[in-house]
Amino acid sequence: MSKYTVALIGQHGQVSTYLQRAFKHEKDIRLLVLGREQLDLSRPDTVCESLEAVEFDLLINPAAFTAVDLAEEQHEQSFAINRDAAAQLALVCAKRKTPMIHYSTDYVFPGDATEPYVETDATGPTGIYGKSKLEGENAIFATGAQAIILRTAWVYSNIGKNFYKTMLGLSASRNELNVVNDQVGSPTYAGSIADATLKLSLLLLEQGIRDDQFGVYHLTCQGQTHWADFAQALFKANAIGHMTVNGIPSSEYPTPAKRPEYSVLNCGKLVAQFGIALPNWKDALLDCAREEVA
Ligand SMILES: NC(=O)c1ccc[n+]([C@@H]2O[C@H](COP(=O)([O-])OP(=O)(O)OC[C@H]3O[C@@H](n4cnc5c(N)ncnc54)[C@H](OP(=O)(O)O)[C@@H]3O)[C@@H](O)[C@H]2O)c1
């Protein structure tokens, strides 16, 4: 019999999948995965009712509308899932006085900084995705929920759709790629996010934290790079020697959503409050490349 039940929202996403793997070995925790069939976040008005009969000691929400470019077309979906449904989840947690872990993004920032953003820096999203995630953060805190919001960035893994998998896929048919080299950030392996979330969950469940420790935290792998360098590194990590990566400016690769030029996050608050830090992005990349892919 497990001591605690953790409700996990979303089933097949990157972070969700790695969370399921990380929690598998925790005998004291029963992980209750609520996929779209149980809980449809595109219908925020149904969220409270869907959760009514579900008992849990902690709720973790990695589910989101994450298609950054598509969000520019699908405003309504984006805000429904990233703001309104997130707020409804928080409302349930607030009523029950049950803590919640939620994820947000580096894209809440405008990208004009010259040193890593801290949690209290002024936000200013450049697109709908970032705007909907930022409004989600605010809506969650407005419910009074005991929430920890982890802003992460450039998430990749061997699961789902992400830059890492796209590059590996292209290497099967190409010898050369043009990749942007003027956006700076921190590639973050979903496995590293899951490991840190597990540590945080155990803290919340077993010891509890002070009221003033709830809030926003930055959670990315350490170090920084640009997409072209990341592409080169991921080819090397996977022993793919035939690829040439040419760095290009973003102006030569226009996308519907404008990305921040610089979105490195300072993760010192998470270290100071909970002693939790993610590895350097280069080490995490090797972990990802070493992973056995089903
Ligand atoms: N990906 C990135 O580069 C990145 C960067 C910064 C921050 N983040 C944040 O990190 C968190 C995790 O991202 P991720 O990369 O793991 O996302 P992901 O792989 O795109 O997965 C998204 C998850 O959301 C679920 N979902 C989407 N629409 C839903 C709906 N209508 N009802 C129920 N579930 C729905 C999906 O459900 P299914 O399982 O049914 O598909 C999936 O589990 C998100 O909060 C995201 O905003 C991501």
Using the mean position of ligand 1's atoms as its centre, give its distance from the Cα of residue 30 in Å. Answer: 22
CA 84 – ligand 1 centroid, Å: 15
CA of 191: how far to CAs of 87, 211, 243, 257, 294, in Å?
26, 28, 26, 27, 15
What is the distance between the alpha carbons of residues 21 and 291, in angstroms, rounded to a whole number? 12
Instruction: Evaluate if residue 294 carries a pLDDT over 80.
Output: no
pLDDT in tens, 188-244: 999 999 999 999 999 999 999 999 999 999 999 999 999 999 999 999 999 999 999
Confidence at 1, pLDDT banded by 50, 70, 90? confident
Q: d(Cα 151, Cα 137) in Å, to the nearest integer? A: 10
Tokens of 44: 């925020």
Length of the chain: 294
**Which residues are the active-site residues?**
129
- pLDDT given at position 254: 86
**Mean pLDDT across the chain, nearest whole number?**
97
Q: Quote the pLDDT of residue 293.
A: 83
Rounded CA gap, 233 and 277, in Å?
Answer: 22
Q: How confident is the model at residue 183 (pLDDT cuts 50, 70, 90)?
A: very high
Compute, in angstroms, the gap from residue 242 CA to the centroid of ligand 1.
Answer: 32
What's the whole-number mean pLDDT along residues 170-183?
A: 96
Q: Which ligand 1 atom sits nearest the alpha carbon of residue 129?
A: 47
| Substitution candidate for ligand 1 out of 8, 15, 89, 218 with most atoms within 8 A of CB | 15
Please report which residue ranges of the chain form alpha helices under DSSP H: 14-23, 47-51, 75-79, 86-96, 128-142, 163-170, 190-202, 227-237, 268-274, 281-290
What are the structural domains of the chain?
4-160+186-222+265-278 (3.40.50.720)
**Tokens 């830059």, residue?**
163
